[in-house]
């Protein structure tokens, strides 16, 4: 199952690549349900914080209606940068899967 989630994150990374973005894709899974599926949108949004992980965190927060992402897992195809790692730390209990 984790491999399938990673494949979905890679598909998101490909979407970023096709848009001329740095190819990073991320998904957040909660109890085996994908609650956020995003990719880098830095160039599209002209927003340096629009990293796939940051967008995934915001999307998951909105989906769950909470600021913490308990029992969730993040799948991303690149090691998170310092900004994203900090945000992931703040949301607590996120497991980072790096392949």
Rounded to the nearest whole angstrom, what is the least distance from the CB of residue 5 to Zn ion in the complex? 19
Tell me: does residue 16 bind Zn ion (CB under 5 A).
no
Tell me: does residue 81 bind Zn ion (CB under 5 A).
yes
DSSP bridge pairs for 29: 34, 73
The residue among 39 and 51 lying less far from Zn ion, judged by its C-beta, is: 51
Rounded to the nearest whole angstrom, what is the least distance from the CB of residue 48 to Zn ion in the complex? 10
Tell me: does residue 84 bind Zn ion (CB under 5 A).
yes
Tell me: does residue 45 bind Zn ion (CB under 5 A).
no
Q: Annotated active-site positions, please? A: 53
Rounded to the nearest whole angstrom, what is the least distance from the CB of residue 17 to Zn ion in the complex? 16
């Amino acid at each position: 199952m984790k491999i399938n989630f990673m494949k979905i994150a890679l598909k998101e990374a490909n979407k970023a690549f096709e848009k001329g973005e740095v190819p990073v894709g991320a998904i957040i899974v909660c109890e085996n349900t994908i609650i956020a599926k995003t990719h880098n949108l830095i160039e599209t949004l002209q927003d340096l914080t629009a990293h796939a992980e940051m967008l995934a965190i915001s999307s998951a927060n909105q989906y769950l209606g909470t600021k913490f992402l308990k029992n969730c897992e993040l799948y991303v195809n690149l090691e998170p940068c310092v900004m994203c790692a900090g945000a992931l730390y703040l949301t607590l209990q996120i497991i980072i899967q790096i392949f």
